[in-house]
Amino acid sequence: MFIDIDCIQKKKYDQHICGDYFISKRYPEIGRLIAVLSDGLGSGIKANILSCMTSTMMLKFTEAGKDIQKASEIILESLPICRIRKISYATFSAVDCNEEGDVKIVEEGNPQFVWIRDLKVIQPEFRIISSKKFNDRNMHIYNIKVKENDRLIFCSDGVTQAGLGTEKLKLGLRREGLIGIITDILKQNPEISSRKLSKNIISAALQKEEKLLIKDDISAMCMFFRTPRQALVFTGPPYYSDKDNFYAKIFQNFKGKKAICGGTTANLISRELKIPVQNETFIPSGNLPPTSYMEGVNLVTEGILTLTKAYEYLDSAEPVVNNDPAGRLVNFLLDTDCITFMIGAKINQAHYDPNLPVEIEIRKNVVKKIAKVLEEKFIKKITFQYM
């Protein structure tokens, strides 16, 4: 199974930074994923530092080989108590899972996660471990086995307390309200991605707030265990032209979504597979060349310029949803899980200019930067094939 994971966050209305912090890391060689969502006490810079510290410590401890429960115990004993409010400086939800469906979860202070299977909520068993150092500080430990199409949803209390004190929700959204929102979304779109589900949960929580002003940082982290969506991006002609047909056949036989980035590359595929390539009549806004159409290919764009712009979009705070060629490429990449880049080594003389920066001049470097942000920011699986 592929683990589709994402987290969407919104900061409190009068703050410049979110006090919640999310971190995750995928280990593709062993099919493992670790993720942590932490909620710092209060809001703003201080809360962000506390939650960042908690999440990063948890990830590093677990990555170094410590069992997630042991790592949580160390952090539980390390985090101080607020002298005034008598509560922990940060709460957290930590997940350690693999592609076989084995999931270990540790929660301390955050709302209980929601486990959805076939639109029904599963209530898992758990153990409680109490702190030896601090009274009333407990960890809930879960060991569960998920199946394909199961979903796990985690959130900070900014979600479950959304609307607190309003006429309709005097006690806030609470867990029951969150479950209602999740099931309504899944009924309408059973295949919705974790990113879009997280966005919809945050949007629904925001709608509960008076005057749409978020009174606490809100975060929704969603996990979807499913068959991976595969994609292939072919960019640049092979170094040896006598291999053109060989690589064109690989592209043709790929099972999944396909994109071509580069006019020379598109002409190569068209020639070798005898499929005409046609320019689309729609002219996008901006300075990028328009996309083309080829039967059996999901997206055909220009090469270096579009790839570079796509990287800028991906590396921004919020990925662009523009309908220009780079925006369409971004959406293509984000709507898949496992992406293979086939990268030709032949230099395109149309773009070779010693005065251009390296990331524009050399296709390989641009693609590597795109791959890095896809792996680190969007938790995608990336592989390369150089030609």
Residue 55 pLDDT > 60: yes
Q: What is the pLDDT of residue 355?
A: 52
Q: What is the pLDDT of residue 356?
A: 46
Poorest-pLDDT segment among 72-76, 178-182, 223-227, 288-292: 72-76
- The answer to whether the beta carbons of residues 210 and 238 sit under 8 Å apart is no
Dihedral angle sign, alpha carbons of residues 261, 264, 269, 275:
positive
Q: What is the pLDDT of residue 260?
A: 97
pTM to 2 decimal places: 0.79
**Mean pLDDT in residue range 337-349:** 83
**Mean pLDDT in residue range 196-203:** 95
- The answer to whether the beta carbons of residues 231 and 340 sit under 8 Å apart is yes
Q: CA-to-CA distance for 109 and 81, rounded, in angstroms? A: 13
- The answer to whether the beta carbons of residues 248 and 288 sit under 8 Å apart is no
Confidence of residue 224 (pLDDT cuts 50, 70, 90): very high
More reliable by pLDDT, 223 or 280: 223
Residue 333 pLDDT > 90: yes
Residue 69 pLDDT > 50: yes
Q: CA-to-CA distance for 264 and 271, rounded, in angstroms? A: 10
**Residue among 14, 60, 22 nearest 39 (CA):** 22
Mean pLDDT, all residues of the chain: 88
E strands, the chain, are 2-10, 20-27, 32-40, 90-98, 102-108, 114-117, 120-122, 127-130, 138-145, 151-155, 218-226, 230-235, 257-261, 277-279, 292-294, 299-301, 338-343, 381-386
Checking 118-126 for CB contacts under 8 A at 24+ apart, the result is: 118/149, 119/183, 119/186, 119/187, 121/179
Question: Could you give the domains of the chain?
Answer: 2-226 (3.60.40.10), 230-386 (no CATH)
